[in-house]
Amino acid sequence: MANCAHCGLELPSFSFGEPTNLCPSCRQLGGAAYAAVPGPTPPATVTAIKRAPYRPPFTVTILGLNVLVFILMVLSGVPIGGRPDNLQLLKWGADFGPLSLDGQPWRILTSNYVHIGIFHIFFNMWCLWDLGRLSERIFGGWTYLLVYTTCGIAGSLASLWLHPMVVGAGASGAIFGLAGALITALYLGKLPYPGQVLRGMMRSLLTFAGYNLFFGAVIPGIDNSAHIGGLLMGLALGAVIGPQLTEPPDRRRAHERMTFVAAALVLVAFGSYVKQKNGYVVALGNAGQVSKGQLDQAITALQASIARNPRNKTALGLLSNAYLQRKDYSNAATTLKRLLQLDPNNASAKYNLGLTYAALGRYEDARPIFADLVQQDPKDDSAWVLLGASLDGLGHEQEAVDAYQKAIALNPKNAEAYRELGLAQMKLHQPGAAIASLQQSARLDPSNAATQKDLGDVYTATGNPAEAAAAFRKANELKKAAPEQPATPQP
């Protein structure tokens, strides 16, 4: 489909009369002087914009860079059709609060060139091609590039502000920014385009923005905060730049320089606010390297966030994890119960609540939680192990053995199931079976010091001092070789 040489809109697929490269509206204004046949001289308002072949090099470059990154991701093993896992996205520069707010701020920009599957990049590049060509034509190449980049950064910061623990990627924040800039620039810019053309473009842009914001709000997995952040920045830039588009080039360039300096200051200020507000996620994202002071700071910030919004499920989940890292099981249980009242199907919260009850010795409370998880997914071997542990804690060793054996039948490589089975068999005075189970656990997980200690205890109880000494020695060696890790129950 060809485009009008004047306004850039698509030409109809067929027309009557002599062939021309202008749309009907531009021909009515005298634009036929630019068509293939002679015509009257166009009015001054039309000649104010220099005619040139429609080549959008900046749009082609940005689109090509996005596609190149996606191809390299696929070649590295990222699935082309399905959703990549978070580690794959982070490897290629996706946005994530614990990293972006802690020494890797470049992710706020690079995440705009990372996409989550073929459909994600296809839709975004389709929108970029349409909006980018029009933006580049109206704003000029370098201004268009700065608008695109500024809006993309604004979208990433908005996502970090509202969803700091979500891995974000995609060009949609920048693309929404282009739509916003075009809307205000076309409305305020007094550009030398026919009214019919301007109204048509405005309808298309408003429909694009409204339609996609609606679907971003109703479809799970879409980060509408990035869309809104990019759109608002684009609206502001277009409102400031638009009225100067028909000014002399020198004056216009000076105005645009001041505009983007001001925009950069706004982004720096907004980024500082986001880091101050959500800096606690840095500690939560590095669970193995958190100091007590950082953890206390994170808990204080989360408590304040929940006080403002008691139904914030994300904050409740993060707060419960922080309590678990601090081994504050009582507060963890209270927080997890609040989370489950808001989200009864949250399997991770159920696991952690059951483990918390077990850590508190409240096995009677833990057992129905794990029984419910087993009922929901009878093939979850981890749930069977946890159910067995709660039964064992209540003194129901035979039922616990049955649960552990069920877990092993589902997953013969579950070292923890063999270890717990061995301990339960020892309580049932089955030393031979207990030793066999613990030895199998040690073979499956040879670096587990606790299993070796359990073997030493069983050998001691059965009168095998040499084997016991060897097991205890091995347990000490493994314990020295592996740094102590914080106990953070997770499913």
For residues 61 and 159, membership in a common domain is answered with yes
Domain limits for position 11: 1-41
For residues 268 and 364, membership in a common domain is answered with no
Look at the chain and count its residues.
Answer: 491
Is residue 461 in a domain?
Answer: yes
For residues 30 and 75, membership in a common domain is answered with no
Which residue among 262, 278, 294 closes a domain?
278
Which residue among 226, 249, 278 closes a domain?
278
Is residue 49 in a domain?
Answer: no
Q: Which two tokens stand for residue 9?
A: 């809109």
For residues 22 and 76, membership in a common domain is answered with no
Is residue 173 in a domain?
Answer: yes
- Are 78 and 88 in contact by the 8 Å Cβ rule? The answer is yes
Is residue 138 in a domain?
Answer: yes
For residues 34 and 66, membership in a common domain is answered with no
Q: How far apart are CA 175 and CA 125, in angstroms?
A: 9
pLDDT of residue 54: 59
List the end-to-end C-alpha distance of the chain, in Å, as a whole number: 54
For residues 360 and 274, membership in a common domain is answered with no
Q: How far apart are CA 187 and CA 191, in angstroms?
A: 9
pLDDT of residue 32: 33
- Are 59 and 136 in contact by the 8 Å Cβ rule? The answer is yes
Is residue 199 in a domain?
Answer: yes
For residues 243 and 385, membership in a common domain is answered with no
Q: Which two tokens stand for residue 311?
A: 């139904």
- pTM for the whole thing? 0.58
Q: How many CA atoms lie within 13 A of 103 on its CB side?
A: 4
For residues 29 and 68, membership in a common domain is answered with no
Q: How many domains does the chain have?
A: 3
Is residue 9 in a domain?
Answer: yes
Q: What is the pLDDT along the chain (491 residues), one digit of tens a residue?
A: 455 655 555 554 434 344 455 555 455 444 333 333 333 333 333 333 344 455 789 999 999 999 999 999 999 988 887 778 778 888 999 998 888 998 899 999 999 999 998 989 998 899 899 899 989 989 999 999 999 999 999 999 999 998 887 888 999 999 999 999 999 998 888 777 666 666 777 777 778 777 777 776 666 667 788 999 999 999 999 999 999 988 898 999 999 999 999 999 999 999 999 998 887 777 665 544 445 566 777 788 778 778 877 887 777 888 888 888 888 999 999 999 999 998 888 888 888 999 899 889 899 999 999 898 888 888 988 889 989 989 998 999 899 999 999 999 999 999 999 999 999 998 999 989 989 999 999 999 998 999 999 998 999 988 888 998 998 999 898 888 765 443 333 33
pLDDT of residue 46: 36
- Produce one character per residue of 248-271: b if its CB has 16 or more CB atoms within 10 Å, e if not: eeeebeeebeebbeebeeebeebb
For residues 144 and 246, membership in a common domain is answered with yes
CATH number for the domain that contains residue 490: 1.25.40.10
According to the 3-state scheme, what is the secondary structure of the chain?
CCECCCCCCECCCCCCCCCCCCCHHHHHCCHHHHCCCCCCCCCHHHHCCCCCCCCCHHHHHHHHHHHHHHHHHHHCCCCCCCCCCHHHHHHCCCECHHHHCCCCCCHHHHHHHCCCCHHHHHHHHHHHHHHHHHHHHHHCHHHHHHHHHHHHHHHHHHHHHHCCCCCECCCHHHHHHHHHHHHHHHHHCCCCCCHHHHHHHHHHHHHHHHHHHHHHHHCCCCCHHHHHHHHHHHHHHHHHHHHHCCCCHHHHHHHHHHHHHHHHHHHHHHHHHHHHHHCHHHHHHCHHHCCHHHHHHHHHHHHHHHHHCCCCHHHHHHHHHHHHHCCCHHHHHHHHHHHHHHCCCCHHHHHHHHHHHHHCCCHHHHHHHHHHHHHHCCCCHHHHHHHHHHHHHCCCHHHHHHHHHHHHHHCCCCHHHHHHHHHHHHHCCCHHHHHHHHHHHHHHCCCCHHHHHHHHHHHHHCCCHHHHHHHHHHHHHHHHHCCCCCCCCCC
For residues 119 and 232, membership in a common domain is answered with yes
Is residue 46 in a domain?
Answer: no
pLDDT of residue 159: 92
Is residue 47 in a domain?
Answer: no
pLDDT of residue 329: 92
CATH number for the domain that contains residue 75: 1.20.1540.10
CB neighbour class for 54 (10 Å; exposed up to 12, middle 13-18, buried from 19) = middle
For residues 83 and 209, membership in a common domain is answered with yes
For residues 35 and 107, membership in a common domain is answered with no
